[in-house]
Amino acid sequence: MAQGPSPPPPPPPPPTDNDKTQKTSDIIGTLRPTKLFKLSKSDTYVTSLDFDDEGLLLIAACSDSSLQLYSAQDGCHRKTLLSQKYGCHLARFSHHSESVIYASTKVDDTLRYLSTHDNSYIRYFKGHSGTVTDIALSPRDDTFLSCSTDNTVRLWNLKSQYAQARLNLSTPYLAAYDPSATVIAVASASTSSILLYDVRNYDKPPFATFDMRQYDPPPAPGGNNIPEWTKLEFSNDGKSLLVTTNHVQGHLLLDAFSGELKAHLPRPYQPTWGILRSAPSITPPKTPLGQGDTSISPDGRYVVGSSGADRDAVVWDTQGRVSKEAERKVIRPMCSLPCDRGKGAVTLWNHRYNMMATADTEVIMWLPDEHVGMKPL
């Protein structure tokens, strides 16, 4: 008796997380621009970028008082949210992907808590009397920090319009939470110091102070001697603290526990005016606002940032060879990431997926390209 055709084999099992995940070290040199989004006008600048907790959405604050929402998953523009009356900068997702906090740039210095679902305000956070220079959300809960030129750092909770605490400091323009959300770092530009606070004892003096004067370059003739720091960021393992700067000698990679300098991370080219954004310490700003042009990879090993002179991004391997140059410990970039359009004036890693975003007058999403190799400098 003839037999019918054998049944088809069962479908393969779904891929595991290991199948879908690549080590950052395997793809870091192959990141290439994949999607480019133009803004409404050629003279509009992106001033900040942020991914939501799931890494699926990207929000850009722009100099034309708009917030641009993108899908990082689908690589498409979702919607435009207007803040024409108050302006917008330093837009940060809350732990809910349909709400953001941002700083006003017009009328007053209020922080605004916005629903991106219907473009309605949930709450206002009033108190600052000077330009807000940084916003940092706790990775653990709904508290967040804001820094201002009114010489205060304020601790807020999304559930209340009133600040929970306030620090009075000299030029505390940048702040960051460590990954455990137990330590707050505050950078004081005029004193060239970084202060570490215990979140549980926020009202107590800092438990550590890092004196950065020994690492700052000498001031240019006729220039001010306030360091041009643009961003403060802990690595995900909590071991390193990156101070992004506009200095020719590059960024400062510190030991997060001792404050000891691990290495300078110099750009391959001398920064060109107009590519880098003004540091909060420069008043009035010489170039558009920004939030720093570097970002640490999720594994804590690599730093990606602008080259300073062209459209390419560059990568520093913090575990790479440290050389001694003019009595300074230096790690040179290991490779460049070619880009034929746009500049990386603002740079941000997606900490959920192997991708990053850069922006200037356009927003660019970068993904690994298996068909290209690493481009050495």
Q: What is the mean pLDDT of residues 219-228?
A: 62
CA separation for the pair 132, 129 (Å, rounded): 9
pLDDT in tens, 239-271: 999 999 988 778 999 999 999 999 999 998 887
pLDDT in tens, 94-124: 999 999 999 999 999 999 999 999 999 999 9
Phi, psi of 104 (to 5 degrees): -80, 150
The pair of three-digit structure tokens given for residue 136, joined into one six-digit string: 């940092």
DSSP state of 200: G
| End-to-end Cα, the chain, rounded Å | 71
Name the CA radius of gyration of the chain, rounded.
22
Whole-structure pTM value: 0.90
What's the one-letter identity of residue 274?
G
Alpha-carbon torsion, ordered 187, 60, 104, 283, to 10 deg: 50
CA separation for the pair 335, 332 (Å, rounded): 9
Cis peptide before 179, with omega less than 30 degrees from 0?
Answer: no
Predicted confidence at residue 219, as pLDDT, reads 59
Is the pLDDT score of 342 beyond 80?
Answer: no
* CA angle 282–214–344, rounded 5-degree value: 45
Q: Looking at per-residue confidence, does 221 or 94 come out higher?
A: 94
Inter-residue contact 264 to 254 (CB < 8 Å): no
Reduced to 3 states (helix: H, G, I; strand: E, B; else coil), residue 273 is coil
pLDDT in tens, 151-209: 999 999 999 999 999 999 999 999 999 999 999 999 998 899 999 999 999 889 999 99
Q: Which of 307, 204, 213 is nearest to 265 (CA)?
A: 307
pLDDT in tens, 126-167: 999 999 999 999 999 999 999 999 999 999 999 999 999 999
Cβ neighbours of residue 329 under 8 Å, at least 6 residues apart?
Answer: 261, 262, 263, 264, 322, 323
- Name the band, by pLDDT with cuts 50, 70 and 90, for residue 17: very low
CA separation for the pair 21, 213 (Å, rounded): 41
Is the pLDDT score of 216 beyond 90?
Answer: no
pLDDT in tens, 283-328: 677 778 899 999 999 999 999 999 887 778 999 999 999 998 877 8
Reduced to 3 states (helix: H, G, I; strand: E, B; else coil), residue 28 is helix
pLDDT in tens, 32-44: 999 999 998 988 9
76, 191, 227, 344 from 291: Cα distances, Å: 23, 20, 15, 11
DSSP state of 250: -
- Name the band, by pLDDT with cuts 50, 70 and 90, for residue 273: low
